[in-house]
């Protein structure tokens, strides 16, 4: 019988054997995470930047954008709001920057910041478009008011003749008149024009179909608004941002033609494996390009604005999210079409047709108030 043997093991060596490999894995992983912005290091200072955003919050709520900004030491805390509400909000000054969607709200904000820090940046633009579904677009083609834009059996983009479309609306045509299983009237659904810029642009589209010369007096603006009002009222209570529901499987139930931004559609398409052939865009013959402005009220806001204009990762991500990026000189950058076609999506017709001439800001605001019965 043998005596039990005792092996003398150096406890330090055992500890190291147990400890070093996981430590190495951890250290390597941490380094990667720190660099990519997934986590913050214990010694790095993260600046929380408070921002109020309209539809462009899609950009700052994107996970990759959050990570890129985190890697640069910033976290943007987003308060979502419609552009018109944004321009009127009482606590405007409490934010580091704001990002309304359109020109009128931009000007309103700048006027309220007269004499204070207010630096504008224009990192990208995106047109207001009409999101619909293939069978509805084809019904409009048969009705003679829409034409396919891109070639191919299943076009993604259609041009919509707003003047001709308006005739269907005025005649109270229903989708069932065009052999679709839907008894609702042919109208466009938009967010509340009292709150959201895209809702306001729809009013602009319809008003231009009534008469393409913008009204010049308050009385003209009110008269034009009263002509448009019944066709906006037909949708009943307007909702908020329409894009999330348009892209849900129940999209056609929520709205068959919804006012959205082009970037929301392109981001949806680029985000998928294989194109969504059911959802298509209508481009009104008169277009409106929203040039959103990031208006900074503070050095923190300035820094975000500068990053948006210069940071290659952020600018690349903007294109991936469907925005047409703009340089310091306001020129369109070239990589947009290339990126889309590289992903199997044809280039949209944005920027090709005439622009809708919106009335002067104060007259347009008056029109919106009449159409929307704004409180």
Partner 1 sequence: MRILAAVVLLLLAACTASTPEPVRLKVVASPELADLGPVLAELKRATGVELAVEHRGTVEASRSLAGFDLAWLSTNRFLRLRGAEPALSSSIMTSPVVLGVKPGKRAVLGEKPTWADVADRAAVGEFRYGMADPQVSGGGMAALIGVATAAAGTGAALRPEDVSCDRLQGFLAGRVFDVPDPISEYTRRQSDVDGVVAHESELLALNASGRVSEPLEIVYPRDGIVLSDYPLMLVDPAHRAAYDRVVEWLRSPAAQRMIAERTWRRPVDPATPRDEKLRTGIGTALYFPDTQQVLDRLLVFHDRAGDGRQVIFVLDYSTSMRGPRIAALREAFASLNGFDRFYTGETVTIVRFAGSVLEERSITVRGRPDLDALLAVVASDDLRDNTAIWAALDHALRLARGETTVVLMTDGENNAGPSVDEFLRVGRGEVPVYPVRFGEASVAELDRVAQASGGRLVDAGAKSLLEAVREIRGCR
Residues that bind partner 1 (CB under 8 A): 12, 15-16, 19, 23, 26, 30, 39, 41-42, 79-81, 85, 172, 174, 181-185, 187, 233-238, 240, 244-245, 247-250, 253-254, 375
Residue 26 or 328 having the CB closest to partner 1: 26
The distance of closest approach from Cβ of residue 352 to partner 1 in the complex, given in angstroms and rounded to an integer, is 30
Residue 88 or 316 having the CB closest to partner 1: 88
The distance of closest approach from Cβ of residue 289 to partner 1 in the complex, given in angstroms and rounded to an integer, is 27
The distance of closest approach from Cβ of residue 96 to partner 1 in the complex, given in angstroms and rounded to an integer, is 16
Helix, strand or coil, per DSSP, at residue 316: helix
Residue 98 or 309 having the CB closest to partner 1: 98
Inter-residue contact 150 to 223 (CB < 8 Å): no
Question: For 344, left (φ over 0), alpha (ψ -120 to 50), or beta?
Answer: left
d(CA 133, CA 334): 29
d(CA 198, CA 304): 25
Q: Which residues contact 310 (CB under 8 A, 6 or more apart)?
A: none
Own/partner pairs, 91-95, CB within 8 angstroms, 24+ separation: 92/52, 93/297, 94/50, 95/50, 95/51, 95/52, 95/297, 95/301
d(CA 138, CA 156): 11
Helix, strand or coil, per DSSP, at residue 92: helix
Residue 241 or 311 having the CB closest to partner 1: 241
Residue 255 or 367 having the CB closest to partner 1: 255
The distance of closest approach from Cβ of residue 239 to partner 1 in the complex, given in angstroms and rounded to an integer, is 9
Residue 2 or 375 having the CB closest to partner 1: 375
The distance of closest approach from Cβ of residue 236 to partner 1 in the complex, given in angstroms and rounded to an integer, is 3
The distance of closest approach from Cβ of residue 130 to partner 1 in the complex, given in angstroms and rounded to an integer, is 17
d(CA 150, CA 159): 10
Inter-residue contact 130 to 188 (CB < 8 Å): yes
């Amino acid at each position: 019988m043998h005596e039990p043997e005792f092996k003398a093991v150096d406890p330090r060596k055992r500890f190291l054997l147990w400890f070093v490999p996981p430590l190495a894995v951890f250290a390597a992983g941490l380094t990667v995470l720190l660099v990519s912005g997934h986590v913050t290091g214990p010694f790095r200072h993260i600046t929380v930047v408070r921002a109020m955003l309209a539809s462009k919050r899609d950009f700052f709520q994107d996970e990759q954008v959050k990570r890129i900004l985190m890697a640069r030491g910033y976290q943007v805390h987003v308060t979502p709001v419609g552009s018109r509400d944004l321009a009127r909000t009482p606590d405007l000054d409490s934010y580091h920057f704001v990002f309304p969607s359109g020109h009128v709200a931009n000007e309103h904000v700048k006027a309220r910041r007269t004499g204070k820090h207010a630096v504008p940046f224009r990192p990208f633009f995106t047109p207001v478009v009409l999101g619909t579904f293939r069978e509805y677009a084809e019904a409009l083609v048969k009705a003679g008011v829409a034409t396919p834009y891109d070639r191919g059996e299943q076009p993604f983009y259609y041009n919509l003749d707003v003047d001709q479309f308006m005739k269907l609306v005025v005649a109270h045509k229903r989708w069932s008149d065009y052999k679709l299983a839907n008894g609702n009237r042919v109208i466009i659904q938009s967010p509340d024009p009292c709150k959201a810029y895209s809702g306001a642009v729809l009013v602009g589209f319809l008003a231009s179909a009534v008469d393409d010369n913008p009204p010049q007096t308050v009385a003209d603006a009110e008269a034009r608004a009263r002509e448009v009002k019944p066709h906006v009222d037909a949708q009943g209570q307007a909702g908020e941002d329409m894009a999330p529901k348009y892209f849900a499987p129940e999209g056609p139930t929520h709205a068959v033609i919804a006012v959205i931004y082009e970037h929301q559609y392109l981001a949806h398409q680029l985000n998928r494996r294989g194109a969504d052939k059911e959802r298509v865009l209508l481009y009104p013959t008169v277009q409106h390009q929203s040039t959103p402005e990031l208006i900074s009220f503070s050095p923190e806001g300035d820094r975000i604005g500068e990053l948006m204009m210069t940071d290659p990762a952020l600018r690349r991500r903007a294109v991936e999210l469907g925005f047409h990026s703009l340089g310091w000189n306001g020129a369109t950058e070239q990589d947009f079409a290339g990126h889309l076609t590289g992903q199997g999506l044809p280039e949209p017709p944005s920027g090709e047709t005439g622009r809708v001439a919106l009335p002067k800001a104060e007259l347009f605001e008056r029109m919106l108030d009449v159409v929307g019965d704004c409180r």
